[in-house]
Structure 1
Amino acid sequence: MRNYTLAASVLALATGLSATSAMAAGKLNLYCSAQEDWCQLMARSFEEATGIDVDMTRKSSGETFAQIKAEEVNPKGDVWWGGTGDPHLQAAEEDLTEPYVSAMRDQLHDWAIKQATSAGDKTIGIYSGALGFGYNTKLLADNNLPAPTCWEDLTKPEFKGHVQMANPNSSGTAYTTLATMVQLFGEEKGFDYMKRLHANINQYTKSGSAPIKAAGTGETTVGIVFMHDSVAQTVAGFPVVTVAPCEGTGYEIGSMSIIKGARNMDEAKQFYDWALSAEAQNLALQVNAFQVASNKAATSSDKAPNMDLIKLIDYDFKLYGSSDERKRLLEKWDNEVSTLPQ
């Protein structure tokens, strides 16, 4: 009996020490809206750097926003990292995220800080990338199609069934596409463009990067995506050419936010600061993520699209990231575009 009691005591002590150690290390629930391998690398690298246990969930920007909204009364996540800035701005406006001013702030580009100040410091820019499209050169040749260089080219009759993009309700990339057309052409002509494009779409995907992956593997000819995602397919060895549309285009400021009511607030702030460092942002190069990093000291790949050479519109992040405008445009797209025959 005495041996049993001693063994039980040792087990209880070991269990207690393990629990104390786990409690000291802490934990973090990370919602990630970047590419899967980048999300995994960020989570595991932060664990190695801090000893904090990370539970990572990867979903597209629109899906993550919807989840945070659904969990508003009982938040499950601590930090939302990555994905287009518009839904991050909407989350800030709807008081779903927490203001935080990082000590790393002075190391960032002005556009990243501007994203933060426009949202009362409830989000911040972590990377930037221009919208465009990519096409599969083999499928283009097999179907005797001319190389598209402009947005208008994708609406031509010969491209019917050859174009793929994501659904703007679930994808931040696709919402950026919708908001870009409205700003580039005006709302009436912008929606007219989306209707004509709809006639050529073969599938609306859930994820923003899925269309260019499909183009890479030969499932579709053209994928509308952020240009860095298209470049990644080329680097991976697929026959994909990246296009900066001739009319001009919009761009994203990928963002990061701390979720309001986060259960692990100290760990969330630790991750926030770490993710803004040049060392953490340089991890992108290991997974062929070719966005422009927000830390001035971060290394840029020579394969990344040169933002200075792309005709960018003056994207109104504050307006198109607002809750009312985003809801209005998505509802209008649902009613006037997605319901049309193809």
Structure 2
Amino acid sequence: MNTFTRSILAAAITMLGVGVTHIASADPLTIYTALEDDEVSDYMAVAKAAMPDVEFHVLRLSTGDLAARMLAEGKNPRNDVIWGFAVTNMLDPRIHDSLQSYLPPAAAQLPDLYKAKDGTWFAATGYMAAFCVNTERLKSKNLPMPTSWEDLTNPVYKGEIVMPSPAASGTGYLQIAAILQGMGDDKAWDLIKRLNKNIAQYTSSGSKPCKMARTGEYTIGASFAFPAMQSIEAGFPVKMVIPSDWEGYELEASGIMATSKNLKDSKRFLDWTLSPDAANLYKKYKEIITIPGLKPSEQSIKAGLPADVSKVLFPINFEQSAKARDQIIKTWQQVTAK
């Protein structure tokens, strides 16, 4: 068979397939996200079923690493969509200015707090600080159950606490930002200095402290609520503690890059993130869901999540948090240097 004949045959096969399969989009849809690996896998399986004609390329990095990548790419971003990214980082002018305005029709039902006035981002979900306490290790070391950030400064916990670095983790930053906004700089940095004396190590991942505590490596992992609930459901000896003081939280924002090469599918994907199919998945993973009418699952409440999380969250000023981020991290690095 010569080259010309092969070409004709290939074209014929392609045409025959048009009626029974979807034609892939001309351009793949490249998505950057800071969502956790396991939830990304679940979300994308459903998204692909809803949009079988779209070729998805998804890059998942921790919040700090993703922010660094976006800043490095500058005016030539390689992604079309940013999905589930800490709004504190999204508000960095260097990142925010690279977005275009687009809000899915369903975003009209979201409260104003959960979407940008200029339409550049919206947040369907969020996460909140939580301590993962290994009850077996706590008992074996005869340690008291902590209930607050102030409790964690007790010298009895020296070497028993793991916490995410605010320089690398959105979870780490929301914890520090809430303490600073709640207490004011002087009192807050004093608490952070005292807390630092008890920290065994700082991690680059917000979920890792919980995972380290649940296996008994450490007694307490300062983390966020989802891995705590996941650990409890999996049968680990973990108690989730929502700190009684300065309960920090973060919103997971999504938007479209101004330079997107696949605007049509970018909009379709963001529309999907507010769809009923996506919302049902959020109940499996998220402690904060901004879509009206959705409540935490029974398993989440059984694990210790408040039925109405809005009653325990500290009212974070996200714009202030974003503006002060570089200076806060610099000061934190100086305060925690050993």
Distance 2:55 2:294 in 1: 25
Q: Aligned residue for 1:301?
A: 297
Equivalent-residue separation in structure 1 for 2:132 and 2:93 (angstroms): 30
- C-alpha contact 1:91 1:97 (8 A) present in aligned 2: no
Question: In the aligned structure 1, how far is the partner of 2:229 from the partner of 2:120?
Answer: 31
Distance in 1, Cα, partners of 2:106 & 2:246: 33
Give 1:114 deviation, angstroms.
Answer: 2.1
Structure 1 counterpart SS, 2:82? strand
TM-score of the superposition, structure 2-length normalised? Answer: 0.89
Q: Match of 1:85?
A: 87
Computed over aligned residues only, the root mean square deviation of the Cα atoms, in angstroms, reads 2.5
User: What is residue 37 of structure 2 aligned with on the other side?
Assistant: 36
TM-score, with length taken from structure 1: 0.88
Residue aligning to 1:263: 261
Offset of residue 210 of structure 1? 0.9
Post-superposition Cα deviations, 1:41-96, rounded to whole Å, max 9, x if no partner, equal 22222111111121111111121111111112321112121143211222576412
Quote how far apart the aligned CAs of 1:4 are. Answer: 5.4
Unmatched tracts of structure 1, length 5 or more: none
Aligned to 1:263, the other structure's residue is in SS state coil
Give the distance between the partners of 1:257 and 1:172, measured in 2 at CA.
Answer: 18
- Tell me, yes or no, if the aligned pair for 1:278 and 1:298 is still in contact at 8 Å: no
Q: Is the 8 A contact 2:103 2:121 kept in 1?
A: no
2:134 is matched with which residue?
Answer: 136
- Residues 78 and 298 of structure 1: CA distance in aligned 2, closer, same or farther (over 3 Å): farther
Aligned equivalent of 2:163: 165
* CA shift for structure 1 position 21: 6.3
Q: Give distance in 1, aligned partners of 2:246 and 2:76.
A: 42
Q: Percent identity?
A: 31
In 1, the alpha carbon distance for the partners of 2:85 and 2:134 equals 25
Distance 1:176 1:190 in 2: 13
In 2, the alpha carbon distance for the partners of 1:175 and 1:318 equals: 14
Q: Give distance in 1, aligned partners of 2:297 and 2:259.
A: 37
SS of the aligned residue for 1:203 comes to: strand
Equivalence for 1:27: 28
Secondary structure in structure 1 of the residue aligned to 2:25: helix
1:263: how far off?
2.2
Residue of structure 1 in register with 2:5 after alignment:
6
* Cα displacement (A) at 1:308: 4.4
CA contact (8 A) 1:134 1:242 kept: yes
Aligned residues: 330
Structure 1 residues 10 and 297: alpha-carbon distance in aligned structure 2, compared to 1, 3 A threshold: farther
- Are 1:277 and 1:295, in contact at CA under 8 Å, matched by a contact in 2? no
**C-alpha separation in 2, matches of 1:211 and 1:12:** 54
Q: Distance in 2 between matches of 1:142 and 1:214?
A: 17
1:188-213 CA distance string (max 9 Å, x none):
11111111111111111111111111
2:50 maps to which residue? 49
Structure 1 residue 129 displacement after superposition: 3.2
Note the alpha carbon deviations across 1:18-47, whole angstroms, 9 max, x for none: 999655375211112111111112222211
Question: Which whole-Å CA distance do the structure 2 matches of 1:294 and 1:6 have between them?
Answer: 57
8 Å Cα contact 2:115/2:123 also seen in 1? yes
Match in the other structure for 2:221: 223
